[in-house]
Structure formats: structure tokens, C-alpha cells
């Protein structure tokens, strides 16, 4: 998990360095890949794979913590092969969802960039360069990503809530000290995950809100 977070940090701050045109689902890359001429489409795909990798890694942490507290006879205590398939399935599901969003981006990127200017009432930095990329200007993509988020978040909620339920109601298979430690592990895991996830997901939430409320910006986002 730590190694994957380091990879994501390097990707975001050095290799890709994305600049988002919030609240529009568009942005540009100003990192090393842009300097050497890597296409914006390929950079979007790489960024989505890296983001999905970290997201699924966090899900794997919750799954492991949930599996650890389960009694031996629990119907949710799966074999290792099933657990691996579960994690890989989530990775393929999330990656596939992001790839679909990118591949369905408007073919007329120049026209979409002009619409970005109309929406924001200003010209964002590097908009009319090959490094800029517009994903979508309609609520379609936001709704699709929201559905994707619901599927993933529901798994986090189940793993957390059921884990706490086992620790509170079905913890006869462990000592009180072990139960207390497992609860602390859950609390710490939730706290460590919530902060980065809020900052990573908030741009999508902001974009979804403003696009669906038809907010006029009148140049207030002018950089």
C-alpha cells in the first residue's frame, strides 16, 4: 500500500502533474510526460490506472481487516483464492469504468475547449494546447462516475459496519484485549483513509454539483 501511494505521489507531482479546470471535467498535464510529448489521452489513462490502484489497495486493507475479525464459521470468511479474485475484480471494474469515460470523451476537443471557456467565462492555463483534455461537458459522465462511486463506497460501508458488528456482537472467539485492539485498528484505518479520499474525490463532487445546478461563474475562476 505504501509503495503504491508513493507511485501515485510521483505520478501526480512529477510525471503527470494534472491541472484540473474545476468544475468542468477537463484539465491539462504539465509534468514530465507533457515535456516529452506523451499524448494527453495516454496520460489520462495512466492517471486513472494509478488512481484505481490506490483505491483498490485501500479496499484491500478494509477487506483484510474485515477478514481478520471474522469467526472461523462465518459465511463471509472466504478462501484466499476468492479474496484475490474479489480484489482483482474490483480493480478491473474500476479501471474499466474510468477507461470507458476517457474513451467516450468528445471527439471534437477544440470545440469542447471553446465550450469550457463559455462555462468558466475565462481561459484556463494551457487550455488550447495538446496537453489539455476535455472528458465531458454534460451530466452523463458525472452520473456514471457517481454510480461507480456508489458501488465502491457501498463495499467500504459493508466491510466497516459488518466488521464493527462482529467485534460488538460476535466476538466470542477473541479476547477482550484483542477485540479492543481490532477496534482501534478499524478506527485508525478509517481516519487514515478518509482524509486523502476526501481530497481526491472532492473535485468530482464539485464538478457534479455545479454542472447539474447550471451555475454561472462570470469569470470568478479566472486565474
Question: What is the CB neighbour count within 10 angstroms for residue 164?
Answer: 17
**Which backbone phi and psi does 162 adopt, to 5 degrees?**
-70, -35
User: Using one digit for the tens of pLDDT, what is the confidence trace for 21-58?
Assistant: 877 888 999 899 988 989 888 998 888 888 888 889 88
Under the phi-then-psi rule, with left for phi > 0, alpha for psi from -120 to 50, and beta for the rest, what region is 185?
alpha
| The pLDDT of residue 71 | 87
Q: What is the pLDDT of residue 200?
A: 66
For the record, the C-alpha cell of 184 comes out as 482501534
132-136 vs 18-20, strand pairing mode: unpaired
Read off the DSSP letter of residue 223. -
Q: Using the Cα atoms of residue 171, residue 172, residue 173 and residue 179 in order, give the sign of their dihedral.
A: positive
> In the chain, which stretches have pLDDT less than 70?
1-5, 196, 200, 203-204, 206-223
pLDDT, residue 223, reads 44
DSSP H/E element including 136: strand 132-136
The predicted structure's pLDDT at residue 112: 92
pTM, full prediction: 0.79
Amino acid at each position: 500500500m505504501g509503495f503504491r501511494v508513493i507511485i501515485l505521489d510521483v505520478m501526480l507531482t512529477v510525471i503527470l502533474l494534472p491541472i484540473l479546470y474545476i468544475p468542468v471535467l477537463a484539465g491539462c498535464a504539465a509534468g514530465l510526460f507533457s515535456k516529452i510529448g506523451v499524448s494527453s489521452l495516454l496520460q489520462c489513462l495512466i492517471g486513472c490506472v494509478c488512481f484505481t490502484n490506490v483505491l483498490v489497495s485501500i479496499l484491500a486493507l478494509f477487506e483484510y481487516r474485515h477478514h481478520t475479525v471474522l469467526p472461523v464459521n462465518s459465511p463471509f470468511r472466504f478462501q484466499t483464492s476468492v479474496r484475490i479474485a474479489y480484489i482483482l475484480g474490483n480493480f478491473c471494474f474500476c479501471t474499466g469504468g474510468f477507461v470507458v469515460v476517457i474513451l467516450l470523451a468528445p471527439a471534437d476537443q477544440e470545440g469542447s475547449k471553446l465550450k469550457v471557456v463559455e462555462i468558466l467565462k475565462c481561459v484556463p492555463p494551457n487550455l488550447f494546447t495538446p496537453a489539455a483534455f476535455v472528458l465531458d461537458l454534460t451530466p452523463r459522465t458525472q452520473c456514471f462516475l457517481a454510480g461507480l462511486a456508489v458501488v465502491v463506497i457501498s463495499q467500504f460501508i459493508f466491510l466497516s459496519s459488518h466488521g464493527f458488528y462482529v467485534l460488538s456482537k460476535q466476538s466470542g472467539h477473541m479476547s477482550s484485549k484483542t477485540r479492543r485492539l481490532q477496534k482501534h485498528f478499524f478506527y485508525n484505518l478509517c481516519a487514515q483513509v478518509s482524509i486523502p479520499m476526501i481530497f481526491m474525490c472532492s473535485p468530482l463532487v464539485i464538478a457534479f454539483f455545479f454542472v447539474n445546478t447550471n451555475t454561472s461563474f462570470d469569470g470568478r475562476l479566472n486565474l
